[in-house]
Amino acid sequence: MELLSDPNVWIAFAMLTALEIVLGIDNIIFISILVGRLPPHLRDKARRLGLGFAMLSRLALLFTLSWVMGLTADLFSVFNQGISGRDIVLLLGGLFLLYKASHEIFVEVEAREQHAPPETDAVALKAAGTKLFWGIIGQIAIIDIVFSLDSVITAVGMVDQISVMVAAVVVSVGVMLIAAKPIGDFVDRHPSVKVLALAFLVMVGMALTAEAFDQEVPKGYIYAAMAFSLAVEALNIRARTKRQLAAQAAGGH
């Protein structure tokens, strides 16, 4: 009860929750893009499972704080560059994100027709859909661990009470769960926004890879660049919509 009556705890909780939501933006985009490849009836389930994994991985890391903080200790050095367990996780996660985002850009821009489901019987289609579903859940789980590691280390630097960290993680994942569907639907409706989102994930992958070698790239720069690009694209979408409405009005006359 003492925690609940302490205004400093509430301030720390609000700040950490907001930060967790901001840090979860790339996670939401990654999940939304992968889930978009599934049949419509499986997408909500995949989103819930993906964000459920995100929450569980963050909570699991929070309850193993000594192990997480131990990951920052150097295991070995390469060319006088210390390499820790955290660096290895960030490097592998960054490379995976670079590969996955680049592959999805290729599929979206160059090879979309090659990935259309072949004409076959319903049983085979169902089996293929189930395999794709669990494959996507596996990919989400892998990248969730990478994003969670950075998120938990940030939380430890901001707040001392683990109960406040747990509450912030649960609330932030709840907000992301609400936001994931409208964001995913918007990305699916606008292919150009999807390519922009994938480019954002490429930048995040590059930032994670650089961070593995102690080259800090402030995420604020990446978010600012993405916000500017989305603002420009929003103007383009509005202009296209106006032209379509004008064309329809002219056709009606």
- C-alpha torsion sign, points 37, 50, 221, 182: positive
The residue written with tokens 């192990």 in the block is 67
Q: Report how many domains make up the chain.
A: 1
**Residue 240 included in any domain:** no
Position 50 confidence tier, pLDDT thresholds 50, 70, 90: confident
Q: What count of other Cβ atoms lies within 10 Å of the Cβ of residue 54?
A: 27
Domain-located, residue 46:
yes
**Does residue 1 form part of some domain?**
no
37 pLDDT tier (thresholds 50, 70, 90): confident
Q: Name the token pair of 53.
A: 């994994």
Q: Is 209 a member of any domain?
A: yes
224 in any annotated domain: no
**C-alpha dist (Å) from residue 171 to 4, 14, 31, 165:** 16, 10, 18, 10
Pair 50, 31: CB distance under 8 Å: yes
In a domain, 236, yes or no: no
Domain with 167, as residue range(s), is 7-215
The residue count of the chain comes to 253
- What is the C-alpha to C-alpha distance for residues 224 and 220, in angstroms, rounded to an integer? 6
Could you tell me which residues come within 8 angstroms of residue 217 by beta carbon, excluding any fewer than 6 positions away?
Answer: 206, 207, 210, 211
Residue 228 domain-assigned (yes or no): no
Band of pLDDT at residue 128, cut at 50, 70 and 90: low
